[in-house]
Amino acid sequence: MFPKENSSNGYHSHRERARRGTRRSRASRDSISLRVYDQQQQQQQQRAPCTDFDMAYFHSYAHLGIHEEMIKDRVRTETYREAIMRHQSFIAGKVVVDVGCGTGILAIFCAQAGAKRVYAVDASDIALQANEVVKANNLSDVIVVLHGRVEDVEINEQVDVIISEWMGYMLLYESMLGSVITARDRWLKPGGLILPSNATLYMAPVTHCDRYSGSIDFWRNVYGIDMSAMLSLAKQCAFEEPSVETITGENILTWPHVVKYIDCYSVTIGELETVTTRFKFNSMMRAPLHGFAFWFDVEFNGPAMPQSNYPSSTSFTDNHLVNGSQRKKRINPNEALVLSTAPEDPPTHWQQTLIYFYDPIELEQDQVIEGLVTLTQSKENARFMNIHLEYTSGGRSHIKESVMR
């Protein structure tokens, strides 16, 4: 049910493989509840243009395999359903927007929770099938499927709730959070609900001898033949790009570091263009350091209120401050619902993202690993992510550049 660890350097799950697939045929457009928006004829004033890269991204999500993989991820899907039911008092009788609705499953969960109206928005052709799903479940009087970008479609009323499964690998890959921010700024009422409400990206140093041996040491002796001449190429092929795979807590060498905390009620699109953090780790064991792992979690909390006189002990660490801005405090901190992709938690289709070194570093217990990581939206394609990693340990400094594409 869950994706297994990749045996190569790529991160081509169904989400990625579908981008190489064929475009799905268009279904009938005669449904009243389906409003198809021709993106190239929309006025683009003060809105991000739809690029060829965006169109390719939207076309990839017309492939059913992507949605099948996500829906079969029970950790993901059941957590979202539980979040909707936990917040039923905010949803029943209210207006909801589902950003990137896909097959419409979250929109249907909201309708089942008593929403008065749900706008299910998706720029991919999967919206056509979502509309058929809505009709088959007799929900056309509640769910309105809008086929178009959030930046382009029109909703002629303010909404009470925004829900979206926007998280990509390493949290920010694919840059879909920008669409949630756009929906928030266009339609969300003051005091409205956003699910999930916040997200946190983590990193930690890892050791993974089996992975390194399987990809690199294999070439030292192939059926009795010395193929060590392949080692340099093998390292490049295996570790040049980020790798999405499943590791366990046993691979983690230290407590994690917070790379970025995101408050979905206040984050801006510009804030996501570049994320930089300095880190310092102390290895908890003697082991080879093979790279760094990244993972995230998201929380589903009620509408937030500004934090003012709360004790510091109830706050997140200073790493969570965003440009010095004031964070928001959840109403019921003891009832937070969390969707985690951490190595020690049940696996999800996001797995973990690993940045491997070409050569491991032998660590002693308590040895310091420090440095800097910068995540930047690619100028070529904002849905790609450039990763700049500087790290120092044992008196030696290194730089690793990679692109998640």
Catalytic residue among 5, 16, 132, 165: 165
The span from the CA of 369 to the CA of 289, in Å, is 10
Beta-bridge mates of residue 344: none
> What's phi and psi for 184, nearest 5 deg?
-60, -50
The answer to whether 96 touches 164, Cβ cutoff 8 Å, is no
- Whether a cis peptide bond, with omega within 30° of 0, leads into 256 is no
**Torsion angle, CA of 122/125/130/135, rounded to 10 degrees?**
120
- Measure the CA angle with vertex 175, ends 171 and 177; round to 5°: 80
Output the six-digit token pair for 205: 């140093």
β-strand 337-340 against 328-329: which pairing, if any? unpaired
Neighbouring residues of 405: CB distance < 8 A, sequence distance ≥ 6: 241, 378, 381, 384
- 174 as an active site residue: the answer is yes
The answer to whether 343 touches 249, Cβ cutoff 8 Å, is yes
Distance of CA 352 to the CA centre of its chain: 11
Catalytic residue among 69, 151, 174, 241: 174
Q: Directed axis angle between helix 126-136 and helix 105-112, to 10°?
A: 30
The span from the CA of 55 to the CA of 123, in Å, is 9
Distance of CA 123 to the CA centre of its chain: 18
Q: Which amino acid is at 159?
A: V
Sign of the torsion angle spanned by Cα atoms 311, 194, 154, 95: negative
The span from the CA of 239 to the CA of 243, in Å, is 8
- 335 as an active site residue: the answer is no
Residues classed as catalytic: 165, 174
